Structure 1
Amino acid sequence: MPGPDDTAEQIAALLDGIVRRQRRALKQDLEVTHGQFRLLRTLDQADRDLRPSELANQLGIVPRSATTVVDDLEAAGLVTRRPDPADRRATLVALTPAGTKVLTTIRRQRRDAMVSLIERLTPTEQADLLTLLTRLSDDD
């Protein structure tokens, strides 16, 4: 019988494999990295435009890295910067319509890739998996 360390390693390897499959399923013509996708998603989920430092904080990266990602996304026309009306020294980052379109496409592709994986499970197994993954992802 495998010990807890063996089980944890097996689960980690299986989850890594699933994530890799999902990333491979995304069409490469979008040319958006995982980090760029995360930034786009963060902007989309925010109730307002965000400063680069706020993005860095929410993404758990250093501010310089957030600035680099914003630079690349701005050059691609997926985000835009504008002056912060509350602080003229600061800038705010917002999604452009093109950024929203790319984000919608990626989300659809991710969902479709996951559907092809979970359709192997019964509806009860799918519900159980969702419950278990939710418990594991909860921040205590």
Structure 2
Amino acid sequence: MPPDEPLDALLARTFRLLRHTWAQHGADLGLAPHQGRALRIIGSDGPMRLSALAERLHVVPRSATEVADALQERGLVDRSPDPDDRRATLVSITASGIEVAEQVAAARRAQAEVFFGRLSDADRAALHRILSTLGEPGH
């Protein structure tokens, strides 16, 4: 890596490496990247409409439907009518979906430990501080 590599390019390259590893862990569990993300989102936010899932995944609604279809076929999510609007459908995570989401999360944490384990404790603390500052809204 060139010493004068722009920070944005360096950050993007580093994140791609980490994201690729995370995607591989999902693939090991039979999940496409959007499916793993959908499980995490639904698992943390609770039942949601397909339109909200599409928005969170940054995909068109039809793609969110395909993701939900694949997850439902595996028994990882359920669909039910939205009690506030019978025309809408809610997607919720199942017990099996929670188990798979926990496996994905554990694999991600383990990989993050390996990935960031190359840094000293002081460098990890500095990186955490820097990324926290950069990740604050409004900056």
Is TM-score (shorter-chain normalized) higher than 0.5?
yes
1:45 equivalent in structure 2:
44
**Per-residue deviation, residues 53-103 of structure 1 (Å, max 9, x unmatched):** 111122221111111100110011100001112222221110000000000
DSSP 3-state at the match of 2:48: coil
The answer to whether the 8 Å contact 1:77/1:96 transfers is yes
CA RMSD of aligned residues (A): 2.0
Q: Which amino acid aligns with 2:17?
A: G
Residue 128 of structure 2 is matched in structure 1 by 130
* Pairing 1:69–2:67 present: yes
Q: Distance in 2 between matches of 1:112 and 1:45?
A: 20
**Cα distance change on mapping 1:114 and 1:57 into 2, 3 Å:** same
The one-letter code matched in structure 1 to 2:55 is N
Q: Name the structure 1 match of 2:14.
A: 14
Q: 1:12 to 1:88 in 2, by over 3 A?
A: closer
Whole-Å Cα distance in 1 between the matches of residues 26 and 56 of structure 2?
26
Q: Are residues 1:83 and 2:81 paired? A: yes
TM-score between the two structures when normalised by the length of structure 2: 0.85
For normalisation by structure 1, the TM-score amounts to: 0.85
Identity %: 34
Corresponding residue number in structure 1 for 2:55: 57
- Correspondence for 2:33: 34
CA deviation digits over 1:94-136, x for unaligned, max 9? 0000000000000000100111122222222111111222233
Q: Deviations over 1:4-61 (max 9, x none)?
A: x74432332233223323434x264410111011111111121x41110111122221
Output the CA distance in 1 between the equivalents of 2:104 and 2:79: 22
Q: Unaligned 5+ residue runs, structure 2?
A: none
Q: Gapped runs of 5+ residues in structure 1?
A: none
Residues 39, 28 of structure 1: alpha-carbon distance in 2 compared, 3 angstrom cutoff? closer
| More deviation, 59-68/118-127 | 118-127
Distance 2:22 2:55 in 1: 26
